[in-house]
Amino acid sequence: MSIFIIILKLILLPTLSPLCVGIVRKVKAYMQNRRGAGIFQPYYDLWKLFHKDEVIARDASWIFYLTPFLLFGLSILLPLGIPLLGSIESLSFFGDFIITIYLLATMTFFIALSGLDVGSAFGGFGSSREMTIAALTEGTLLFSFLPIALVTHTTNVILMATTASGLPFFNYLPFVIAFMGFFIALMAETGRIPFDNPSTHLELTMIHEAMILEYSGKRLALIEWANANKFIFFIILGVNLFFP
């Protein structure tokens, strides 16, 4: 993969990810007959958090300090393995979908571990719920990729997308069921309804928000930005694989 495409992906997708979240929130507000905030509101929220001071628990270990940076770093490495500019892209180490699933599992593991790190009650049950959902969705995500990998004879996401775009129409029938599994995994991995509600702090519905209640300031901004990067990654991945 050329240096230009790598730099473009490292800059373009993290820049557009808050806009994607803002559009989703605006559409959700419109469907609920609300006006809602503007589509650029996530940018303002990140700017505000980056300029706030941090309050860190005395019992926090290196895991609590390191996790936001690790999550953000992995979230900008994930898009390196998905098609962005079509067939001009070459192969990438991050393009193997098995590597992609392992990176997603690593992000889930560390955010759950950071929720347990400070010993708060909310962080504990949030991490427990997160790992329960992850145990169910990681396998679903893996098997949603397998039909495409078997048809295209490759596990590289870029080759899977470019090869699938030239397949006959009847070969897309197994992809329909695979897309249903991928869509369920997308909703669970990105913390969307019905698995989670990113806009609430109710104890009964809170999973992701429970794990990051102890974060503030710059580290909270990095976590929120990483979640936005993960969200746009799943959208682009789904479009390229199942609607090539």
**pLDDT above 60 for 156:** yes
| Adjacent-strand bridge partners of 156 | 96
pLDDT of residue 11: 87
pTM score of the predicted model: 0.87
User: In 10 A of CB 103, how many CB atoms?
Assistant: 16
Classify each residue of 32-63 as buried b or exposed e, where b means 16 or more C-beta atoms within 10 Å of its C-beta: eeeeeeebeebeebbeebeeeeeeeeeeeeee
pLDDT of residue 225: 94
Terminal alpha carbon distance of the chain: 21
Count of domains observed in the chain: 1
Each residue of 115-149: pLDDT tens digit? 888 888 888 888 888 888 888 888 888 888 888 88
For residues 109, 112, 115, 117, the Cα torsion angle rounded to the nearest 10 degrees is: -40
pLDDT of residue 44: 95
Range 210-219 average pLDDT: 88
Burial of 114 (0-12, 13-18, 19+ CB in 10 A): buried
Q: Which two tokens stand for residue 57?
A: 């628990």
Alpha-carbon gap, residue 157 to 95, rounded angstroms:
5
Range of the domain at 31: 3-242
Query: Residue 191 region, left (φ>0) first, then alpha (ψ -120 to 50), else beta?
Result: left
Q: Which two tokens stand for residue 12?
A: 């373009």
Contact 29, 187 (CB under 8 A): no
Each residue of 157-177: pLDDT tens digit? 888 888 877 777 777 788 888
DSSP conformation class of 203: T
